[in-house]
A and B are shown apart, each in its own frame.
Chain A
Amino acid sequence: MSAMYEKLVDILVNHFAVDRGKITPEATFEELKMDSLFLVEFLLVIQSEFDVKLDDDAATLTDTIGHVARLLEDQTKATAQ
């Protein structure tokens, strides 16, 4: 998987006490027991971590970790150009 995905996994494990073993690119936030407030907090943390701007509705509970990783990759590429 991408380096970005691996960084998101670290954040989920270290900030949100998610079991590393349960995280896959296809896992949804809901499946990782991230409720709506935790998801908002997660989006705030990654925006600050990667210095990007995401919309409030950039991800929902039924989205996957892989989806957010791709979103961030697109954002950081766009910023780099």
Chain B
Amino acid sequence: MTAPSPVAVTGLGLVTAAGIGVEETWEGVCRGRSAAARDPRLEGLPVDISCTVPGLDPARHVGRRSPLMHDRFIQLAIVAAREAVADCGLDPDTWDGARVGVVVGCGLGGIGTMETQHRRLLESGPESVSALLLPMLVPNMVAGHLAIDLRATGPNFVTATACASGGTAIGTAASLLRDGSCDVVLAGGTEANVTPLMVTGFNQMGALSRRVDEPEAASRPFDQDRDGFVIGEGSGILVLEREADAAARGARVRARLAGYGASADAHHITAPEPEGASVLRAVHTALGQAGAGPHEIRHVNAHGTSTPLNDAVEARMLRRLTGDGAAVTSTKGVLGHTLGAAGAIEAALTVLAVERSTIPPTANLRHQDPALELDIVTGEPREEKVEVAMSNSFGFGGQNAVLIFTPGS
């Protein structure tokens, strides 16, 4: 089998609970302090904490009409995509938009808008419901809005694999470059579903941390006292191009997307398959594309949600795969779990780790679960050259997405 043509990451954009922008997020993640806090939108609920993007003013950051026509999941993606495109050095005013694709992962869509409008329907009748409900609610609108905003008229769609959606989007985007459908793809994920109904739903299934009196200590991946995830919101967008094209235009290659693997557990609607066999298949597919072996992996940005089950199964799988040779981190300790955006935000952070030879720490890891025999970075960021890095994302429904990044040449 010949290795598929390499894909370059030439632009990054991030909007997270650590801040608006790539550098703001990177600094926050490297500082290693959780962004979780009490959330007034969740007042009165048993779990009322979240990791929320601070200081986003849609009218200023997105556009005057944004509050009228965009749900928050779309606003976050527009801000991240504009940053990514500016970073890659291409100009949407002059690029051939027909060759530019958009693939965005999104687990849920505009649920906040739906909750508001549903309340209006029940309280004030059908005539009070907004004509803009559907365009603000349906998940695919985010890709449509990015097309409008950035004049990108190539293939355009949303991937939904729950908490793996962002990883699935980036992996799928690479195929569009390799099969010649696009020359440039904006790929990533977005989610903004810190709403009373969604948080209640996650809490009812026992997925959330109940450490509400100590929000900043609630998200603690791989810690022996972890008790669930903290819901977050955010967006991460990457600009992908074929490496030869990026080199031809003299673009800065921030890292190479060297491999992607996907699989399904076919085991349980929410619980991971205990042996991680399907995840391992995805890992080996991704490594095969990258032409690398498991022991070459030096860094893993884990799915690491801080739920007892996910972290145990993932750690066991990583131990079998890499021994203790890989420096593992979970950036969800700082940013919370951003669901459909997580895979993309973490892919961007993995790119930065490779580019900067710096691995951010896992927040709140005070007592590493002794059952998890891994080299987990904690406390300070670790300076280390990373030749092969992996970013894992696993979704409810048993959907797995694994990305491999290597340094740009």
A interface list, Cβ under 8 A from B: 15-17, 37-38, 40-41, 44, 47-48
Q: How far is the CA of A48 from the CA of B124 in the complex (A)?
A: 10
Q: How far is the CA of A37 from the CA of B69 in the complex (A)?
A: 10
Structural contact, B131 and A37, CB atoms closer than 8 A = yes
Q: How far is the CA of A15 from the CA of B69 in the complex (A)?
A: 11
Q: Which residue of B lies closest to A39 (CB)?
A: B131
Structural contact, B127 and A16, CB atoms closer than 8 A = no
Interface membership of chain B positions 54-82, coded 1 if the CB is closer than 8 angstroms to chain A and 0 otherwise: 00000100001101110000000000000
Structural contact, B131 and A40, CB atoms closer than 8 A = yes
Interface membership of chain B positions 32-69, coded 1 if the CB is closer than 8 angstroms to chain A and 0 otherwise: 00000000000000000000000000010000110111
Q: How far is the CA of A41 from the CA of B59 in the complex (A)?
A: 19
Q: Does B128 contact A (CB under 8 A)?
A: yes
Structural contact, A37 and B132, CB atoms closer than 8 A = yes
- Knowing A41-B130, A44-B130, A48-B127, the reply to whether A16 touches B68 (Cβ < 8 A) is yes
Contact residues in B for A15 (Cβ distance below 8 Å):
68
Q: Does B135 contact A (CB under 8 A)?
A: yes
B interface list, Cβ under 8 A from A: 59, 64-65, 67-69, 124, 127-132, 135
Contact residues in B for A48 (Cβ distance below 8 Å):
124, 127-128
Q: Which residue of B lies closest to A35 (CB)?
A: B69
Q: Which residue of A lies closest to B120 (CB)?
A: A48
Q: Which residue of A lies closest to B133 (CB)?
A: A41
Q: Which residue of A lies closest to B67 (CB)?
A: A17
Report the 5 A-B pairs with minimum CB-CB distance, sorted nearest first. Answer: A17-B64, A40-B131, A41-B131, A17-B65, A37-B131
Structural contact, B68 and A17, CB atoms closer than 8 A = yes
Contact residues in B for A41 (Cβ distance below 8 Å):
68, 130-132
Q: How far is the CA of A18 from the CA of B131 in the complex (A)?
A: 18
Contact residues in B for A44 (Cβ distance below 8 Å):
127-131
Contact residues in B for A40 (Cβ distance below 8 Å):
131
Contact residues in B for A17 (Cβ distance below 8 Å):
59, 64-65, 67-68
Q: Which residue of A lies closest to B125 (CB)?
A: A48
Contact residues in B for A37 (Cβ distance below 8 Å):
131-132, 135
Smallest CB–CB gap between B78 and chain A, Å?
16
Q: How far is the CA of A41 from the CA of B129 in the complex (A)?
A: 9
Q: Which residue of A lies closest to B64 (CB)?
A: A17
Q: How far is the CA of A47 from the CA of B131 in the complex (A)?
A: 13
- Having A17-B65, A44-B130, one finds 16 other A-B pairs with CB under 8 Å, namely A15-B68, A16-B68, A17-B64, A17-B67, A17-B68, A37-B131, A37-B132, A38-B69, A41-B130, A41-B132, A44-B127, A44-B128, A44-B131, A47-B127, A48-B127, A48-B128
Contact residues in A for B59 (Cβ distance below 8 Å):
17
Structural contact, A16 and B65, CB atoms closer than 8 A = yes
Q: How far is the CA of A40 from the CA of B69 in the complex (A)?
A: 13
Contact residues in A for B128 (Cβ distance below 8 Å):
44, 48
Max chain A C-beta neighbours (<10 A), residue from B68, B69, B128, B131: B131
Q: How far is the CA of A48 from the CA of B130 in the complex (A)?
A: 11
Q: How far is the CA of A47 from the CA of B124 in the complex (A)?
A: 13
Q: Which residue of B lies closest to A40 (CB)?
A: B131
Q: Which residue of A lies closest to B132 (CB)?
A: A41
Q: How far is the CA of A1 from the CA of B346 in the complex (A)?
A: 57
Smallest CB–CB gap between B132 and chain A, Å?
6
Q: How far is the CA of A47 from the CA of B128 in the complex (A)?
A: 9
Q: Which residue of A lies closest to B134 (CB)?
A: A37
Q: How far is the CA of A38 from the CA of B135 in the complex (A)?
A: 12
Q: Which residue of B lies closest to A36 (CB)?
A: B131
Contact residues in B for A47 (Cβ distance below 8 Å):
127
Smallest CB–CB gap between B111 and chain A, Å?
20
Q: How far is the CA of A40 from the CA of B130 in the complex (A)?
A: 9
Q: How far is the CA of A40 from the CA of B129 in the complex (A)?
A: 11
Q: How far is the CA of A48 from the CA of B126 in the complex (A)?
A: 11
Q: How far is the CA of A38 from the CA of B65 in the complex (A)?
A: 10
Smallest CB–CB gap between B113 and chain A, Å?
13
Q: How far is the CA of A41 from the CA of B68 in the complex (A)?
A: 10
Smallest CB–CB gap between B145 and chain A, Å?
13
Q: How far is the CA of A38 from the CA of B128 in the complex (A)?
A: 15
Smallest CB–CB gap between A78 and chain B, Å?
19
